[in-house]
Amino acid sequence: MAIPRSSGVQLHLTSLPGGRLGPEAYAFVDWLHAAGQSWWQTLPLGPPDEYRSPYKSASAFAAWNGFLEDPDAPVSQDEEDGFRARHGFWVEDWEAFAGEGAVADQVRFEREWGALRAYAAERGVRMIGDVPIYVAPDGADHRAHPELFREGVVSGAPPDAYSDKGQFWANPVYDWPAIRRRRYRWWTERFRRTFDLFDLARIDHFRGFVSYWAVPEDAPDASHGRWARGPGRAVFDAAAKELRPDTDAAPGDPAATDSSPLPLIAEDLGVITPAVERLRDDLGLPGMVVLQFAFDPDDPHGPHRPENHRENQVLYTGTHDNDTLRGWWESIPDARRAETDAAIDAAGVREDEPWWSLIALAQSSRASLCMMQVQDLLGLGAEHRMNVPGEQGGSWGYRLEAGQLTDEHAARLKALTTGAGR
């Protein structure tokens, strides 16, 4: 899909000064508008796990009641009945899991989120969400639809340069033939819910739709896994046919999504095969590049280097799994710093601080959308990063301080954004 040349900032709701919806969320929208930004990206909005991670939420559909500004606001029976009618596919499963009051909380969230999103839209700010590919073990979705998941194997990632044992995620993995027999209904409804909440969404671990790493559930580590075939484009075609009524082609037909692609960003980071690239491009989805991955002297032709960026792409200064720009800059070896400096000077975007030079370099990219971590705009160090992958505990706690983003920050970012034609 084509994204207009624009830029935005990623900040999860838990990272707002109050950690929830309310005045601070509206103030952040005002700041984005003043800074000339078009997008606000959050992490998944479901209930976080015991380590505060939103990527192992107990529901792929329900929003966390911890975000509510007014968790005791009255909800009428008509409102609850209306919500049940609109979200009948999943809300009773969530109620069975979460208990009494669960539906009323979803009504409250819809009310508060809808008001915030309308306020943002009036100021030219649209919302980007995040869709984890997997669900939590023994969560609401796993309990309600065990027939959609394989038995005996769980999710993970194979060994790589960073880990000789791979990554043992332990999420349930999908039984794709079983999902196909049900015409991909669960995934279509998941996308429907996503697009009810967001204008655009990043789909995590996109490569898993081509092939995924399945690990025996009793294996000591992920190195004992093997590749298994994913569904390819069929899951997206089925959703597009249902959710994009101008798409008349049948699922599996290449025309099914070409004329009206789903508003998704494909997270295509890591070891990506030609088959993954073909699926991304056939679906018309923008992929991702990360500026912090760009300046490896041993990878002179890497896709993250500014000279290799493409227009139909989303450039991130760093994702929630990366260090802050300042933390990254202060940790890299001299050879990588020299490569970075050369790129900044070649683009003519030198600023007083290295992290602002990198933000200016990101803004200058030919990628249509540039996304920045709020920590990078503030020049915060590694102690303020959002997540350290593979570590349990100690992550997901970053919080912005009230008044920390100033008018001066907004003016500086707006000047760079405007100068880059965003």
Any domain includes 264? yes
pLDDT > 70 fraction of the chain, expressed in percent and rounded: 95
- What's the half-sphere exposure (Cβ side, CA atoms, 13 Å) at 343? 27
Q: How many domains does the chain have?
A: 1
pLDDT tens sequence across 108-124 = 999 999 999 999 999 99
Any domain includes 254? yes
pLDDT computed for residue 245 by the predictor: 62
pLDDT computed for residue 297 by the predictor: 83
| Predicted structure pTM score | 0.93
- Give the span between the Cα atoms of 361 and 345, in whole angstroms: 9
The pLDDT of residue 16 is above 70? yes
Active site members: 204, 267, 321
The pLDDT of residue 251 is above 90? no
Any domain includes 221? yes
Across 319-345, average pLDDT: 94
Any domain includes 236? yes
Kind plus residue range of the DSSP H or E element containing 243: helix 234-243
Name residue 129's beta-bridge partners: 201
The pLDDT of residue 100 is above 60? yes
Instruction: Please name which of 365, 319, 314 lies closest in space to residue 3, comparing C-alpha atoms.
Output: 314
Any domain includes 208? yes
**Cα-Cα-Cα-Cα dihedral of 377, 382, 385, 389, to 10°?**
140
Instruction: Please name which of 156, 155, 248, 265 lies closest in space to residue 201, comparing C-alpha atoms.
Output: 265
Any domain includes 41? no
Residue with the larger pLDDT of the pair 375 and 259: 375
Asked if 142 and 172 touch (Cβ cutoff 8 Å), the reply is: yes
Any domain includes 51? no
Any domain includes 98? no
pLDDT tens sequence across 206-236 = 999 999 999 999 999 999 999 999 999 999 9
Domain that holds residue 183: 145-285
pLDDT computed for residue 140 by the predictor: 98
- Give the span between the Cα atoms of 285 and 215, in whole angstroms: 29
Buried b (16+ CB within 10 A) or exposed e, 137-150: bebbbbebbeebbb
